[in-house]
Amino acid sequence: MMNVALATALSLAAGGLAWLTDPFQVYDNGTYGPPLQVEHLFYDQWPTGLSVASNGAIYANFPTAVNQTNTQYTVGVVTSYTTEAAFPSVEYNQPPGGFLNPSNPAFGSADPDHLISVQSVVVDALDRVWALDTGRPLYNGAQVLATVPGGPKLVGFYQNGTRFANYVLPITTAYPDTYLNDVRFDLRPSTLPSGQGVAYITDSSDEGRSGIIVIDLGTGNSWRHIDSQPYTRGDQGFISTYDGQVFQPIRQGNPNPGTYSHLTTGSDGIALSADGAYLYFSPLSSRRLYRVPTSYLLVQPSGANPNAANAAIAATQYLGEMGGSHADGMETDASGVIYIGAPEQDGITMYHPDLGMWMPFVRDPRIQWPDTLSVATNNRLYFTSNQYWLQPSLNNGTEYRVRPWGIFSVPISAGKVILT
Ligand SMILES: *[C@@H]1O[C@H](CO)[C@@H](O)[C@H](O)[C@H]1NC(C)=O
Ligand SMILES: *[C@@H]1O[C@H](CO)[C@@H](O)[C@H](O)[C@H]1NC(C)=O
Ligand SMILES: *[C@@H]1O[C@H](CO)[C@@H](O)[C@H](O)[C@H]1NC(C)=O
Ligand SMILES: *[C@@H]1O[C@H](CO)[C@@H](O)[C@H](O)[C@H]1NC(C)=O
């Protein structure tokens, strides 16, 4: 701290206090890269994911919060600059028995034919809309309920709302504490013998058994890889910084309500390389980026392939730290560049796999936790900004989020990856 006499002397020498505050030519102006375009404002429910179809339709999802406001629908479609509507219908978003399991309300609903709590919505290369249902609603603002089979599932809809696929995951793939977080598709018939392609899903479970889930879209079989490994789990004692302020969550639920804790969320953001050969992922509660060749993930661990799980772990590559931020979402464009959300930098970082290099892409003080990224066919990158760390469940019950939440877009040099 400068003493008063020195400050006064400097100020007099410079002819006023302005000299003390204004001499600096290098400072953080908070912005970088292309200007943001505001695509949508959310004034009602709280969004996490979004995805854009080739006709410009924007789909979004809203994790269910029982006893709070977020219970009208968990998947929606944008209907105007400031409004959304249920997708595929209000009815599909309202399980008749409620969001909780009627026989044991400590668990989420087991209803396989309705959406319980969707964490991610993705429009695939055939313009179909997939909803990834965790089956884990947030209860009373504090507790994310465990699941029973029927809740966790991947549901496919045509844009007209007709359901064409419903992969309900067995308990051997989706554990009661699994949190299905994000999904990418490779629809090439050559990926698996059944010829319908594959879905790769991150399990970001806060409770530690995080990993990668693979679904054979032809047979509906599913299996896990890189289960409970350091690659898919958060760092112990992870501490992050938003808007220049250190953040340590204070949870209301277990294990120690009301005390400072850490984010523990595991593998969350996920991206497929433009050629489908690698799956990129990062635990939310770490700044580490990994990739694994998909050829290892496509092998189902079984008696016939007893070393498949170990082989996928051994093939996982650590690519380095992501430049001063953890990430909640990532996405590839057709040129192979991977865009990685950087909540600690109010921005988005680019990773060039061919160069093994990170580069700045965009920063703006309005980017308050970029949650999910989506490349659209119009060569623009869309993303949500949702103030994730300000929610009551991480702040001792106090709501610090302020509406509206937003969808932004920025121009990029290539379009959506089409693996069909
Ligand atoms: C802010 O700083 C960045 C990076 O130093 C620079 O590229 C950009 O042009 C600056 N923007 C303004 C408005 O000065
Ligand atoms: C929360 O919701 C459940 C299920 O809808 C209901 O039974 C319960 O009374 C509600 N609790 C509060 C505190 O509102
Ligand atoms: C919905 O779209 C699918 C795929 O384009 C089509 O096969 C189906 O007939 C449509 N259903 C309705 C009710 O329009
Ligand atoms: C959390 O909230 C409880 C109940 O309002 C309060 O007693 C406690 O002091 C708070 N904890 C912190 C660390 O602010």
* Cβ 138 under 6 angstroms from ligand 2: no
CA distance 301 to 379: 38
Higher pLDDT, 83 or 3: 83
From ligand 4's centre to the CA of 258, what distance in Å?
Answer: 5
Ligand 1, CB cutoff 6 Å, lining residues:
29, 31-32
Residues 97/114, Cβ–Cβ less than 8 Å = no
* Cβ 158 under 6 angstroms from ligand 3: yes
From ligand 4's centre to the CA of 387, what distance in Å?
Answer: 21
Class of domain 30-411: mainly beta
Strands lying side by side in the sheet with 65-66: 65-66, 138-139, 143-144
Question: Could you report the per-residue pLDDT of 334-348, keeping only the tens digit for each?
Answer: 999 999 999 999 999
Ligand with the closest atom to the CA of 398: 4
Q: Where are the beta strands (DSSP E) in 115-195?
A: 118-123, 129-133, 138-139, 143-144, 153-157, 163-168, 180-186
Which tokens hold the place of 152? 């966790």
Q: Which residues of 285-313 are buried (b: 16+ CB within 10 A; e: fewer)?
A: bbbbbbbbbbebbbbbbeeeeeebbebbb
* Cβ 66 under 6 angstroms from ligand 2: yes
* Cβ 97 under 6 angstroms from ligand 2: no
Which atom of ligand 4 is found nearest the CA of 396? 1
Question: Could you report the per-residue pLDDT of 179-208, keeping only the tens digit for each?
Answer: 999 999 999 999 999 999 999 999 999 987
Binning the chain into helix, strand and coil, the percentages to the nearest 5 are 10, 35, 55
Which tokens hold the place of 365? 């003080």
Which atom of ligand 1 is found nearest the CA of 28? 2
Instruction: Please give the pLDDT value at position 256.
Output: 86
Instruction: Please give the pLDDT value at position 9.
Output: 46
**Once rounded to an integer, what is the mean pLDDT over residues 145-156?**
97
From ligand 3's centre to the CA of 161, what distance in Å?
Answer: 8
Instruction: Find all residues with CB under 8 Å of 416, minimum gap 6, and list them.
Output: 125, 333, 334, 375, 376, 377
Ligand with the closest atom to the CA of 126: 3
Question: Could you report the per-residue pLDDT of 9-46, keeping only the tens digit for each?
Answer: 444 444 555 556 678 889 999 999 999 999 999 999 99
Among residues 140, 176, 146, 147, the alpha carbon closest in space to that of 252 is found at 140
Atom 9 of ligand 3, residue of closest alpha carbon: 162
CA distance 408 to 329: 14
When pLDDT is cut at 50, 70 and 90, the band that residue 8 belongs to is very low
CA distance 285 to 234: 4
Ligand with the closest atom to the CA of 392: 4
- Which pTM was predicted? 0.94
Residues 133/115, Cβ–Cβ less than 8 Å = yes
* Cβ 164 under 6 angstroms from ligand 3: no
Atom 8 of ligand 3, residue of closest alpha carbon: 162
CA distance 293 to 270: 13
Ligand 4, CB cutoff 6 Å, lining residues:
250, 258, 396
From ligand 3's centre to the CA of 162, what distance in Å?
Answer: 6
Ligand with the closest atom to the CA of 159: 3
Which atom of ligand 3 is found nearest the CA of 161? 1
At 58 the three-state DSSP class reads strand
Question: Could you report the per-residue pLDDT of 382-400, keeping only the tens digit for each?
Answer: 999 999 999 999 999 999 9
Instruction: Please give the pLDDT value at position 4.
Output: 46
